[in-house]
A and B are shown apart, each in its own frame.
Chain A
Amino acid sequence: MSGTLVLFTFLAIVAVASALLMVTRLNPITSAIYLVLNFISLAGLYLTLKAQFLAVIQIMVYAGAIMVLVLFVIMLLNLEDERALYDHIPWSKYLMFVLGAAFIVEMITITGLAGAPVISTMSPEAANIGTVEYIGMALYNSYLLPFEMTSILLLSAMIGAIVLAKKRFP
């Protein structure tokens, strides 16, 4: 087994396990902490794909900014544990597992195992592409307009959040 495969297997197991724990815990704060673990393992997977810039951004934006915001709101609302997941519709549990299994089989068939053309080696340019320099050149040359639109989107989201969370409208 090569070192990359060992690293990938470890990170994939951490990612799937933390995602499963996130979905099944009843306490929202525990779920949020497991989601942070999931984001960190995904940042490690980005590093195995030689995307350094996105790995750093993943930690800073997702694990840093977004999850801190979520934790703030959870603690502000002072939520108690959810009631047990399936207490009022008992058959929905089995239906959910059947649908989940069907969905996963379908996605795996589409994406991998069923004789689709396989891209087996990483592109030799991959190590260049992930750098800040390369992505910055792409963002500020070919994608300048979408980049500036993103700033307008963030500004309007900020104004919208302030207006929505205000106590009463004037």
Chain B
Amino acid sequence: MLSINYYLILSAVLFTIGVVGVLTRRNAILIFMCIELMLNSVNLTLVAFSAYLGSVEGQVLVFFVMAVAAAEAAVGLAIVLALFRNHVTVNLDEINILKW
């Protein structure tokens, strides 16, 4: 039987890849997808603890995380669409209207 550390380390690796993606890519949609990757790695941690500690709370929390991720996808992509309509780009280096 595997110990829980395998799952935790895999989750840490996936989370780090997501962080590196957010820091290096400049396409708004790709940054959005990297955030989804980070959410998923945390979900893996929650499911692993839920299975190893024998408690249902982790899986309920994953359920809510998925609902929030769906809402975030709808609103985030609508923001990207509105941004593209105004600036004809999704490159975050060129979108600096809030910069002082």
Contacts and interface: CB of A to CB of B under 8 A. Distances in A.
Contact of B40 (A20, A38, A143, A146): A38
Contacts of B16: 100, 103-104, 107
Contacts, number: 223
20 contacts: A8-B6, A16-B10, A31-B33, A38-B14, A45-B44, A49-B50, A54-B43, A77-B90, A79-B29, A93-B24, A96-B23, A100-B20, A103-B16, A112-B9, A154-B70, A157-B71, A157-B72, A160-B78, A165-B78, A167-B85
A-B pairs with lowest CB-CB distance, top 7? A123-B54, A157-B71, A107-B12, A111-B8, A164-B78, A112-B5, A23-B21
Interface of B: 1-21, 23-27, 29-30, 32-34, 36-37, 40, 43-44, 47-48, 50-57, 59-60, 62-64, 66-75, 77-82, 84-85, 90-91, 93
A42 B40 contact: yes
**Most interface-central of A46, A118, A164 (chain B CB within 10 A):** A164
Contact of B14 (A8, A15, A99, A126): A15
Given A129-B50, A130-B51, 11 more contacts: A62-B40, A62-B69, A66-B73, A69-B74, A73-B80, A73-B81, A99-B23, A108-B12, A119-B53, A129-B59, A143-B60
